[in-house]
Structure 1
Amino acid sequence: MIKKQLKYLLPILVPLFILLLPADSFGIAGMTLIEQRIIAIFVMATLCWILEPIPIYATSVLIIVLELLLVSDKGLWFTKQAPPEILGNTIDHKIIMGTFASPIIMLFLGGFFLAMAATKYRLDVNLARVLLKPFGQNPKFVMLGLMMITAIFSMFMSNTATTAMMLSILTPVLALFSKKDLGRVAFALSVPVAANIGGIGTPIGTPPNAVALKYLVNENSISFGGWMVFGVPFVVVMLFIAWLLLTSLFPASIKEINLNIKGRFLKTPKAIMVYVTFVVTILLWLMGSLHGMNSYVVALIPVAVFSVFKIITKEDLKKISWDVLWLVSGGIALGVGLDKSGLAANAIEAIPFADFHPLLLIVGASVLCLLMANFMSHTASANLLLPLVAALGASMHSLLPYGGEVILILAVTFAASLGMSLPISTPPNALAYASGHIETKQMAKVGIILGITGILISYAMLYILKQTSFFG
């Protein structure tokens, strides 16, 4: 009972306590009231995302509303009564409200439309049926094929939707294994593992990638195809390691598996339009340097096409993961607050990060993100850390020989998607655990090994890309 009360009271009482403290007690010289309020909002968001007294998307909406009320130029009248030097910089309310329609949100919306249309017209299931055929009937290679297809779908679809679809395909296969056959565990784990890893491959694959793009701007901007240059090789390497790990930890006793996926490609005008739009959108994303449109603009093409031709109807719109879009919006708003108030820059100056070795900083930030991502939402972890990491990277010249803030941001972003040790770590993990074929300790063993391995591989790949001047 006490724990339940603390769950609701801490996100309220701790921020209130912070607001009542003298501004100079934070160790930041000249801290303003606006900066102090941003700290309170940040702490509130952290506690709400960790304890979940309210849904995590509701926390994001609360961030935006509190910023509008307490730190914006159109906020409550009594919040702006102090002298300017004590009050600090109020934030333009249009910038805060604009987080609901950020280009990052539009990119995700386009991805949702593509995924929904692909599911509605059975493009996903039929592709799985065709792509799995070459892998034969050997359990090891069937599982490899299953992981590859899951990862590919996860690059362009919701990881949760991909996992749900692939687990439904896998259900009759899991029934072939006896209760004592460890191969059943390997197959059940292969889908969420591949979905979590596959999302790293593209900017729309997982929300932390979208959050990272918010801070990769100007000379540090990365195109859709540019992201895939390092994202896809990372996914390939990690998938191969995950496959070897699963087949060695949970070897299958049966010798043959027959995947019987029924279906055929639809040939209706609307289905053909879905196929063409899907291919054209992906090609436009990959060839941004040729046509000049960025990935955000391209993402709205399928939204327009599918809406105009009634491929996605108003009933379908109700099924879009609006909670994910709101969650990302809140993270962007938190970053706006930290940046525009001057708090992030002032906090970085107040802490002697310049005395730290840059490599220690990169390792420390990514390991912290990995730990957080195992116990809370990947998006929430990225939302909390990336604004601080971006400000830190921009201020530390000692990071330049190691790739500057880009390397730091990407290392933390990759770490956010590698947190998959527990059923609560990600929705794909929860779906797989709910199937009843996996024990928590089995998932934890695989998740911990892949998390640590993935961080080390990301360091190696980012270092190689830095040596080839990919990041300038």
Structure 2
Amino acid sequence: MRQYIRYIIPIAIPLLILLIPTSAIPIEGLTVIQQRVIAVFLFAALSWVFEPIPIYATSVTVIMLLLLLVSNHGLVFFKAGAGEPHMGELLKSSDIMATMASPMIMLFLGGFFLAMAATKYRLDVNLARVLLKPFGNQPKYVMLGLMIITAIFSMFMSNTATTAMMLSILAPVIMVFSKDDPGRAAFALSIPVAANIGGIGTPIGTPPNAIALSYLTGENTITFGEWMAFAVPYVVILMAVAWLLLVKLYPSKQETIQLDIKGKFLKTPKAITVYITFAGTILLWLMGSRHGMNSYTVALIPVAVFSMTGIINKEDLKKISWDVLWLVSGGFALGLALDQTGLAALMVNAIPFDNFSPYIVLVGAAGLCLLMANFMSHTATANLLMPIMAALGLSMQNLAPLGGQVTLILVVAFAASLGMSLPISTPPNALAHASGNVNTNQMAKVGIIIGVGGLAMAFVMVWLLNVIGFIS
């Protein structure tokens, strides 16, 4: 029976919510449309936790359910009574479908094209070879070099792809360590830790960043370059802390170590096109909107260039992480429903958050996000929490002196990326654990310290941003 529980719960509980009268749900002023969104939200949350189906399939199902249950082009009998006060307003089906082609999705697509082209033309490996040379052959400095390069790559590439590449480079080196050498675990942990931290550095580094940006609109809008202006220094400091922690906890017995990465930069016309497009796209992102384009428009430049030149062909397109795009799209659709039906605001207003200290709310929200991110997908965690946090940030008057909605969203976004204490927390962790060079206890010790320490640093960061007037 236990094996079926994970299939039954995600369906049974939302179905129960759908069937009971709205008066039975302890939220004053709840409409039928909002009740349906609660059911869809619970389906998403429980499916992302229990994973009876793949998490990207849950996202697609969420979009389908919203179209059926709460859109103006849903099933006829679900639209009966639309417009009545107790029924609520139906959403436009075109708005729900548009989440599949949100500007944020285009931003990620551009990132995927850059990463795929870099890997295909060995730009990543050759950059690693060149960048590692200055770090010598002392184990702790070689590890520092590996972490820096991993973090840089993970800012613009998938954390999973970066980890897989760097672990393959590292594999022959780890064999040099004896089985009882703590340095073996340090090197194996350094790659996923650096990948997880490095992804925080750019809006395309990890999905929670993009999800956070989608809620920072209007006067709270943050550009690609502005995000990097505060996130990269944060990454640098946290990376230094992580490196010192690994050196202290797992000191290597080896006195010297050699990394032999073979290869050279390709000089074919297509390879040169990749180098120029890669550098040009990043430069345009860093320049913000000074050239008139936003980061989403810039993201389509590599998509067009690589498609026109055949650098990325139809076979390559099959290798793009479409599941990540679907997963993020489902989160956007869920957030849209929570926002436009007024459910997020209603849920937030049902609890007198203004009676609580804003510091308690910030710490509680970030702590909840960090806890959830250790046990489920970072993207799913951000998808579930971000629309509620956005509404909470707008409604809490006593949070305004601390930066209001921007502060809350940034802290929660960073917390989502800091969940890295278990093999199941992130794909990079799973890859490192699967290598057999690090055990769960070692990973948990490092992950918990970095997670809690990184969260404390995030609070300091947003405080500084508030002091200098970046957050107002």
TM-score, L = length of structure 1: 0.99
- Distance, in Å, in 2 between the alignment partners of 1:18 and 1:340 is 20
Superposed, 1:452-471 pairs within 5 Å as 452-471=452-471
In structure 2, the partner of 1:15 is 14
For 2:127, what is the secondary structure of its paired residue?
helix
Q: CA deviation at 1:229?
A: 0.9
Q: CA deviation at 1:4?
A: 1.3
In structure 2, the partner of 1:280 is 280
Please say if residues 80 and 87 of structure 1, whose CA atoms lie closer than 8 Å, have aligned partners that are also in contact. no
Question: What are the ranges of 5 or more consecutive residues in structure 1 without an aligned counterpart?
Answer: none
Q: CA deviation at 1:26?
A: 2.4
Q: Deviations over 1:239-259 (max 9, x none)?
A: 000000001110000100111
Please say if residues 89 and 340 of structure 1, whose CA atoms lie closer than 8 Å, have aligned partners that are also in contact. no
Q: Which amino acid aligns with 1:348?
A: V
Q: Deviations over 1:80-120 (max 9, x none)?
A: 11262221010000000000000000000000000000000
Q: Which amino acid aligns with 2:459?
A: Y
Q: Deviations over 1:122-155 (max 9, x none)?
A: 0000000000000000000000000000000000
Superposed, 1:67-106 pairs within 5 Å as 67-82=66-81, 84-106=84-106
In structure 2, the partner of 1:198 is 198
- Distance, in Å, in 2 between the alignment partners of 1:143 and 1:236 is 15
Superposed, 1:45-56 pairs within 5 Å as 45-56=44-55
In structure 2, the partner of 1:41 is 40
In structure 1, the partner of 2:425 is 425
Question: What are the ranges of 5 or more consecutive residues in structure 2 without an aligned counterpart?
Answer: none
Q: CA deviation at 1:20?
A: 1.7
Superposed, 1:304-323 pairs within 5 Å as 304-323=304-323
- Distance, in Å, in 1 between the alignment partners of 2:281 and 2:26 is 50
For 2:215, what is the secondary structure of its paired residue?
coil
- Distance, in Å, in 2 between the alignment partners of 1:96 and 1:403 is 30
Please say if residues 27 and 350 of structure 1, whose CA atoms lie closer than 8 Å, have aligned partners that are also in contact. no
Comparing 22-31 with 306-315, greater Cα deviation is found at: 22-31
- Distance, in Å, in 1 between the alignment partners of 2:215 and 2:36 is 23
For 1:87, what is the secondary structure of its paired residue?
coil
Q: Deviations over 1:264-292 (max 9, x none)?
A: 00000000000000000000000023212
Superposed, 1:219-298 pairs within 5 Å as 219-298=219-298
In structure 2, the partner of 1:359 is 359
Comparing 22-31 with 224-233, greater Cα deviation is found at: 22-31
- Distance, in Å, in 1 between the alignment partners of 2:13 and 2:248 is 47
For 1:85, what is the secondary structure of its paired residue?
coil
In structure 2, the partner of 1:170 is 170
For 2:86, what is the secondary structure of its paired residue?
helix
Q: Which amino acid aligns with 1:379?
A: T
- Distance, in Å, in 2 between the alignment partners of 1:66 and 1:353 is 31
Q: CA deviation at 1:21?
A: 1.9
Q: Which amino acid aligns with 2:72?
A: D
Q: Which amino acid aligns with 2:458?
A: S
Q: Deviations over 1:367-392 (max 9, x none)?
A: 00000000000000000000000011
Q: Does 1:32 align with 2:41?
A: no
For 1:289, what is the secondary structure of its paired residue?
coil
- Distance, in Å, in 2 between the alignment partners of 1:434 and 1:63 is 32
In structure 2, the partner of 1:182 is 182
- Distance, in Å, in 2 between the alignment partners of 1:24 and 1:405 is 31
Q: Which amino acid aligns with 1:111?
A: G
Q: Does 1:302 align with 2:309?
A: no
For 1:470, what is the secondary structure of its paired residue?
coil
Please say if residues 307 and 313 of structure 1, whose CA atoms lie closer than 8 Å, have aligned partners that are also in contact. yes
Q: Which amino acid aligns with 1:173?
A: V
Q: Which amino acid aligns with 1:26?
A: I
% identity of equivalent residues: 67
- Distance, in Å, in 1 between the alignment partners of 2:289 and 2:326 is 30
Q: Which amino acid aligns with 1:89?
A: E
Q: CA deviation at 1:24?
A: 2.2
- Distance, in Å, in 1 between the alignment partners of 2:50 and 2:337 is 22
For 1:226, what is the secondary structure of its paired residue?
helix
Q: CA deviation at 1:45?
A: 0.5
- Distance, in Å, in 1 between the alignment partners of 2:210 and 2:2 is 34
Q: Which amino acid aligns with 1:15?
A: P
Q: Which amino acid aligns with 1:71?
A: V
In structure 1, the partner of 2:382 is 382
- Distance, in Å, in 1 between the alignment partners of 2:81 and 2:221 is 39
Q: Does 1:444 align with 2:444?
A: yes
Q: Which amino acid aligns with 1:456?
A: A
Q: Deviations over 1:153-192 (max 9, x none)?
A: 0000000000000000001110110001010000000000
Please say if residues 390 and 405 of structure 2, whose CA atoms lie closer than 8 Å, have aligned partners that are also in contact. yes
In structure 2, the partner of 1:396 is 396
- Distance, in Å, in 2 between the alignment partners of 1:344 and 1:283 is 37
Please say if residues 143 and 187 of structure 2, whose CA atoms lie closer than 8 Å, have aligned partners that are also in contact. yes
For 1:116, what is the secondary structure of its paired residue?
helix
- Distance, in Å, in 2 between the alignment partners of 1:282 and 1:185 is 34
- Distance, in Å, in 2 between the alignment partners of 1:28 and 1:252 is 57
Please say if residues 226 and 288 of structure 2, whose CA atoms lie closer than 8 Å, have aligned partners that are also in contact. no
RMSD: 0.7
- Give the total of aligned pairs: 471
Please say if residues 238 and 454 of structure 1, whose CA atoms lie closer than 8 Å, have aligned partners that are also in contact. yes
- Distance, in Å, in 2 between the alignment partners of 1:170 and 1:96 is 44
- Distance, in Å, in 1 between the alignment partners of 2:306 and 2:252 is 43
Please say if residues 135 and 142 of structure 2, whose CA atoms lie closer than 8 Å, have aligned partners that are also in contact. yes
- Distance, in Å, in 1 between the alignment partners of 2:469 and 2:29 is 40
Q: Deviations over 1:397-420 (max 9, x none)?
A: 211100110000000000000000
Please say if residues 421 and 445 of structure 1, whose CA atoms lie closer than 8 Å, have aligned partners that are also in contact. yes
- Distance, in Å, in 1 between the alignment partners of 2:229 and 2:325 is 26
- Distance, in Å, in 1 between the alignment partners of 2:397 and 2:106 is 33
Q: Does 1:151 align with 2:151?
A: yes
Q: CA deviation at 1:346?
A: 1.3
- Distance, in Å, in 2 between the alignment partners of 1:135 and 1:26 is 61
